[in-house]
Amino acid sequence: MLEYYTVLGKHNTMLIACSFAIGTLAACSPTVPLLDEGPVEDSMTRQIMRDIGDRPRSVTCPEDVTQEQDEEFECTVKLADGSERKASVTLTDGDGHFRFELKR
């Protein structure tokens, strides 16, 4: 029998599939939660606005980033003047905290 349990993760859902064979736990493998990129994009927008004085037109990060410490990914930042820059982002823990560097 296959049972599914829902726990917190991306958009408050994550699936853990556990397989039980005749009442004994045969395998239980949790999936790694995906990062909710919305709060990352919002936080980056505020920080860039504080640093350079202009609100960026947009900050876009990938949707398929696993929420694990030291995970690295790149976001695209469209500045107020229309130019595009890349930002290197690193998750500093498994709770979604991060640091980023806007590339020149």
* 69-87 confidence digits (pLDDT tens): 999 999 999 999 999 999 9
Note the pTM of the prediction, 2 decimals: 0.69
Q: Is 16 exposed, middle or buried (0-12, 13-18, 19+ CB in 10 A)?
A: middle
Instruction: Name the band, by pLDDT with cuts 50, 70 and 90, for residue 13.
Output: very low
Is the pLDDT at 30 greater than 80? The verdict is: no
Report the pLDDT averaged over residues 85-95. Answer: 96
Residues 83-97 as b/e (b if ≥16 CB within 10 A, e otherwise) read eeeebebebeeeebe
Is the pLDDT at 99 greater than 60? The verdict is: yes
Hey, where are the domains in the chain?
1-31, 37-102
Is the pLDDT at 49 greater than 90? The verdict is: yes
Predicted pLDDT at 7: 34
